[in-house]
Structure 1
Amino acid sequence: MQNSTECQLQIRFITKQEIYAVPDVPLSVPQAIDTSSLNALINQLLKESNFDYLKPIEFDFLAIGELLRVPLINHLQERNVSTETTIDIEYLERTPAPEPKNSLLHDDWICGIETLDKWILTGCYDNSINIWTTHGKLIKSSKEHKNMVKSVTWIDKSDASKGFISVSHDLTALVWSFQPGTDNVTPKAVLRGHERGIDSVGVSPNALRIATGGWDTNLKLWTTSLEEEANEPAHKKSRNNNSVITKTPISTLKGHKETVSDINWIDNYVVSTISMDHTIKFWDAELCGIKNEIVGQKAYLSSSWSPLSNALLASSADRHIRLYDPRSTEGSLCKTTFTSHTLWVSSVMWSTYDEHLFLSGGYDSAVKMWDTRSPKAPLYNLQGHEGQVLKVDWSNRKYMVSGGSDNSVHIFKNKHI
């Protein structure tokens, strides 16, 4: 057996985290060095540089643009990189594992979740919308819908007092008011116009437009304003002594052939939709036409847009998560494929603060935290669900939240913040 010290590689450590910088001189290391040995080496170099710390720091290592998950020589061979050159190894403090916090028990399946500040909004198959605190206290539960609630979203992502929207298979969307600090949750408007159940909803970044999509294959656009119709008595009807106005869509955009599974606003003027018809479409919300289209191989189930990376994540009915760059002019628009789930991936969501991190949830009961620089393996598997995971959410950077067919919402504390 050949001694590993006989086969050496030249590496150079680099980092963007200047607090951990060591001299960037070439070093000779065994070809088969792994992350554990690299961690020991970099901590030794920090110690020699008189770095002041109480315990060794855990680092991750980037080589040729991807996180090191196998011995270095294997990593290089997989990418056909010569071992004759000096390899730059970028090191960064390892993202710590999320910490399990609360579990919120519901009466039925949960398929809509969105957090804002300390509030968690959920939508359920028992027709209910629910508001919880991140500490696990139920503030309000309401069953104004007449069928399952498929998706929920806050209107203004920085202000819970602006209210929220729920969409249902009862063919309607409801616009709700909410007074934080109280249990005052009241429907203010009903959106009517879909001919079949509504599955998805999104609000523009400026909180002025709503987009909904569902089983009638249509994308419909609405205003969030409650003023324009409020003075027209014909639009009002009484519900629980509250004045609820009926709103109609300002536009109906046709083009999909199957249900619209998910909606993302790219900016205030462009909407992205994914569908069971194997397509992703980008719509001009002003001109009401299709700007761009991506055709996939399977039905799309979930998507998430990141303004940090200008990339769209989409999951399909094939266990895979794909990262698309819609602006790409070089080769395929699909830049990376992430594979770890064993069944369909029902939900994906980007981190709001790091362009590389995202969450996924699947029918295999798994919730996974990913770094886009490690497509073959997630950073962490978040345990807890005993049924299909139907929705993951990371709207509040401090908390990762998931819900599913086990009637529970699990909250994980992000220790990276």
Structure 2
Amino acid sequence: MDVDATEAQLQVRFVTKQEQYAVPDSPYAIQSNVQTADLNTLVNALLKEADGSVKTVEFDFLVCGELLCSPLGDHLQEKGVSTEQTLEVEYLERFPAPSPQDCLMHDDWVSAVQAHGNWILSGSYDNSLHIWTTKGQHKLAIPGHTSPIKAVSWVSVNGDQAVFASGSHDQSAMLWVWNVSNNSVDCVVTCRGHEKGVESLSVSADASRLATGSWDTNICLWSASLSDEDNVPAKKRSKSDRGQDHGNTREPLTTLKGHREAVSGVQWMDYNTVLSSGWDHLLKIWDCELNGIKQEIAGNKAFFDVDWSPLSNAMITASADRHVRLYDPRSQESIVKTTFTSHTGWVQSVRWSKTRDTLFLSAGCDGQVKLWETRSPRTPLYELSGHEDKVLCCDWSVPSLLVSGSCDNTLRIFKAKTALNA
């Protein structure tokens, strides 16, 4: 740009997909050194002028496909965009800052968490599972595993009965039934087939199967049915055969072999497709009918977690190089679409929003939990502070709850407002 960015004037046109906030689309002249706060003031003034609105709305601004986080002129200079042409600036209602709600104490590191409806399930390094209400009330502590728990997932919640799964470094995954009114839990199935600890676990959308990833480099698929009559192979062993196992002992339906190091993350993408991440720097998409690999994506460091969003058809990964990356597995060009740089330690866990296709959480060994907008790669929307040690897991399964577990022995709950015009 020939003109100094701090002195230049720009012609801008404001556009939005949220029609209730639309302003006249005629161009406006503004200084190029304006920032988000200045644009907010201007758009709110235009709204008030257009319909007499007195309510002030906080907006974010998209310029050249990226959220504005610096003075407008600097942003344009970095993008190589001329100040001579009329610039289109898209604005959208800002996602409000989540508010801290509860801090739930455990006896050891909190290494796994998932919320569902009114309940939160957590797993700890003291080998125990815990059920909490979303208001922070402790319902139950559940022994059964003999090593730290690394993965938990709700399978189904139907009225008075809830089914959930857990995976542990004791090499097993367990299926549990919780009678809500009696507040009693039984382990009905113990899944045995891995030769090393279970690191990751996922339940298929129809709740019929589990996938587990292990330090033995394998992924095992299991029936999630509570009845052995529906399963082949499955067998009921005598107590002497089962040792420490609870309920029926089940063998895997299928074992997927291909990773060379620990399988850190697994997720069902559809009924016959599983996504996995590994310490071997690889992401793999598996065809579970053919028991083969459909696609393999190489990274440059160990992957510690992966999450896929059906809303955006994109994957995010947590990595040992301190970055979060967004991948589009369908892309014909660069599969890595965006790199998010803000963590100062290993990133341990990533989770998409279930309702907003551009928002996700990341949690890291720097003690930070960050809420990201995919169009703001260098600056997270918010940092959810409070943890005093490495954060091992995070969850955003319930739209109004952001949950994280840490080596400070706490599970932290943040409340998010969900009544937004997406």
State the TM bucket, normalised to the shorter chain: over 0.9
Write the mapping of 1:15-414 to structure 2, written as runs, cut at 5 A: 15-54=16-55, 56-156=56-156, 161-229=161-229, 235-237=236-238, 244-330=247-333, 332-414=334-416
Q: Which amino acid aligns with 2:87?
A: I
Q: Which amino acid aligns with 2:402?
A: M
> Could you tell me how far apart the structure 1 residues matched to 2:234 and 2:103 are?
44
SS in 2 for 1:235: coil
SS in 2 for 1:200: strand
Distance apart, 1:186 and its partner CA: 1.1
SS in 1 for 2:408: coil
SS in 2 for 1:73: helix
The gaps in structure 1 that reach 5 residues or longer are none
> Could you tell me how far apart the structure 2 residues matched to 1:396 and 1:180 are?
19
Distance apart, 1:33 and its partner CA: 1.3
Give the direction of change, closer, same or farther, for the CA distance of 1:165–1:41 in structure 2 (3 Å limit).
same
Give the direction of change, closer, same or farther, for the CA distance of 1:148–1:279 in structure 2 (3 Å limit).
same
Distance apart, 1:264 and its partner CA: 1.0
> Could you tell me how far apart the structure 2 residues matched to 1:209 and 1:306 are?
19
> Could you tell me how far apart the structure 2 residues matched to 1:318 and 1:4 are?
34
Q: Which amino acid aligns with 1:374?
A: S
Distance apart, 1:161 and its partner CA: 3.2
> Could you tell me how far apart the structure 2 residues matched to 1:368 and 1:157 are?
29
Asked if 2 retains the 8 angstrom alpha-carbon contact of 1:399 and 1:411, the reply is: yes
> Could you tell me how far apart the structure 2 residues matched to 1:365 and 1:147 are?
24
Distance apart, 1:4 and its partner CA: 8.5
Give the direction of change, closer, same or farther, for the CA distance of 1:237–1:184 in structure 2 (3 Å limit).
farther
Q: Which amino acid aligns with 1:138?
A: H
Moved more, 226-235 or 56-65: 226-235
SS in 2 for 1:391: strand
The gaps in structure 2 that reach 5 residues or longer are none
Give the direction of change, closer, same or farther, for the CA distance of 1:131–1:224 in structure 2 (3 Å limit).
same
Distance apart, 1:158 and its partner CA: 8.1
Give the direction of change, closer, same or farther, for the CA distance of 1:182–1:377 in structure 2 (3 Å limit).
farther
SS in 1 for 2:414: strand
TM-score, structure 2 as length reference: 0.94
> Could you tell me how far apart the structure 2 residues matched to 1:222 and 1:83 are?
59
Distance apart, 1:162 and its partner CA: 4.3
Cα RMSD (Å) of the superposition?
A: 2.2
SS in 2 for 1:266: strand
TM-score, structure 1 as length reference: 0.95
> Could you tell me how far apart the structure 2 residues matched to 1:243 and 1:199 are?
20
Distance apart, 1:233 and its partner CA: 11
Give the direction of change, closer, same or farther, for the CA distance of 1:234–1:165 in structure 2 (3 Å limit).
closer
> Could you tell me how far apart the structure 2 residues matched to 1:157 and 1:28 are?
56
SS in 2 for 1:76: helix
Q: Which amino acid aligns with 1:323?
A: L
Asked if 2 retains the 8 angstrom alpha-carbon contact of 1:121 and 1:152, the reply is: yes
Q: Which amino acid aligns with 2:247?
A: V
Q: Which amino acid aligns with 2:97?
A: A
Q: Which amino acid aligns with 1:313?
A: I
Asked if 2 retains the 8 angstrom alpha-carbon contact of 1:229 and 1:247, the reply is: no
> Could you tell me how far apart the structure 1 residues matched to 2:160 and 2:363 are?
26
SS in 2 for 1:49: helix
> Could you tell me how far apart the structure 2 residues matched to 1:5 and 1:199 are?
52
> Could you tell me how far apart the structure 1 residues matched to 2:250 and 2:10 are?
67
Shift >2 Å, 4+ stretches: 2-7, 50-54, 156-162, 179-182, 226-234, 236-239
C-alpha deviations, 1:215-268, integer Å up to 9, x for none?
A: 1101111111132348999615569xx981111001111101100001011111
> Could you tell me how far apart the structure 1 residues matched to 2:236 and 2:49 are?
74
Asked if 2 retains the 8 angstrom alpha-carbon contact of 1:205 and 1:267, the reply is: yes
SS in 1 for 2:161: helix
The answer on 1:14 being equivalent to 2:39 is no
> Could you tell me how far apart the structure 1 residues matched to 2:127 and 2:167 are?
10
Asked if 1 retains the 8 angstrom alpha-carbon contact of 2:98 and 2:414, the reply is: yes
> Could you tell me how far apart the structure 1 residues matched to 2:86 and 2:182 are?
61
Q: Which amino acid aligns with 2:11?
A: Q
Asked if 1 retains the 8 angstrom alpha-carbon contact of 2:12 and 2:89, the reply is: yes
Q: Which amino acid aligns with 1:393?
A: D
> Could you tell me how far apart the structure 1 residues matched to 2:117 and 2:256 are?
33
C-alpha deviations, 1:167-207, integer Å up to 9, x for none?
A: 11111111001123441211000001111111111111111
Give the direction of change, closer, same or farther, for the CA distance of 1:5–1:291 in structure 2 (3 Å limit).
closer
Moved more, 43-52 or 97-106: 43-52
Between the aligned residues of both structures, percent identity stands at 50
Give the direction of change, closer, same or farther, for the CA distance of 1:367–1:19 in structure 2 (3 Å limit).
same
Q: Which amino acid aligns with 2:309?
A: S
> Could you tell me how far apart the structure 1 residues matched to 2:4 and 2:336 are?
42
> Could you tell me how far apart the structure 1 residues matched to 2:31 and 2:20 are?
27
